[in-house]
Amino acid sequence: MNNFLARTITGFSMVFLLLFSMWYNRWFFAGIFLVVTILGTWEFYRLFTSENIQPQRIYGTVCGSLLYLLSIVVLSTGHDQYSLLWYYLPVTAAMLMFFLSFIIEIYRKKTRPLENIAITATGILYVALPLVLLNFLNSPWSVRFLGFPAYLLGYFILTWFYDTGAYLYGKQFGKHKFFERISPKKTWEGTIAGTVVTILTAIGFSCLVKGIILTDWLALAMLVVIFGSFGDLAESLIKRSLHIKDSGNILPGHGGILDRFDTFFISAPFVFLYFILRNI
């Protein structure tokens, strides 16, 4: 099976699974991304593990998973009644996890403890935290469209359309490099085409979805374009620094978990922040 066919089959399968989970049940959606959190965090630590650098792989993966689960529990209690708990309990837990990593490192007797601690904390913040925030976009009080959480559905579709538009157009017509030092294959032509597709899709959503105005859709589109691009570049920076092509091989045609969800790791916090501000 050639790479394009494998990429297409894997991509459509993942799209179907995520759309079905959003439509069927938010706890099913949460369960899928719990698995993604575990696999993605472990994959992140595996990339950085070497003879000299040894992040706390088990501890970091467990902490990322616990932070994810804790946030789901807090979300299930309801926003209005438990606002302080909703805001502060996951943050407090994350702080405790960070400081406990120092205590654990004291007893490990490794040669480069500061790098181990830094990579352990980065894995939780870079992988687990953005995936946690996706569940808050799938809250029961969010606007619905055909049974889907409209804002989260739009976020996924805009991201997919941007990635697909940029990839296909850039592959066929791209000539001017976008950020050659980090990602030689990306072009300005592909980026502009992806941006146009994303904006047009956002306008389409504004015509279909009642309860979310055009300004919000355009803002979401620009967050996807700007910070989704940075997410892609950030993961490319990691791989280039480590001299690897893919973060893993668990997803045929796409590589690893980090390869497939890289755009969300940077864009999700900014999308979440906008989502919160527009509902204050």
Q: Are residues 249 and 255 in contact, defined by beta-carbon separation less than 8 angstroms?
A: yes
Q: Average pLDDT of the chain?
A: 87
E strands, 131-245, in order:
144-145, 148-149, 177-179, 183-187
Task: Evaluate whether 260 touches 14 at the Cβ level (below 8 Å).
Answer: yes
Per-residue pLDDT band at 179 (split at 50, 70, 90): confident
Q: In the chain, pLDDT over 70 holds for what percent of residues?
A: 92
| Nearest alpha carbon to residue 48 among 110, 114, 105, 116 | 116
Integer Cα distance of 55 and 48 in angstroms? 8
Question: Of 279 and 185, which is predicted with more confidence?
Answer: 185
Write the pLDDT tens digit of every residue in 111-165.
899 999 999 999 999 999 999 989 888 877 778 888 888 999 999 999 999 998 9
Q: How do beta strands 148-149 and 144-145 pair?
A: antiparallel
Mean pLDDT computed over 24-43? 93
Q: Which residues in 56-81 are b (16+ Cβ under 10 Å) and which e?
A: bbebbbebbbbbbebbbebbeeebee
Q: Which residues sit opposite 255 in a β-bridge?
A: 251
Residue 279 has what pLDDT?
A: 66
> Quick one: residue 213, left, alpha or beta (phi over 0 = left, psi -120 to 50 = alpha)?
beta
pLDDT score for 82: 45
Closest alpha carbon to 274 in 217, 202, 189, 201: 217
pLDDT in tens, 209-251: 988 899 999 999 999 999 999 999 999 999 989 988 888 888 7
Task: Give the residue, 39 or 180, on which the prediction is more confident.
Answer: 39
Residues 6 or more apart whose CB falls under 8 angstroms from that of 210 comprise 143
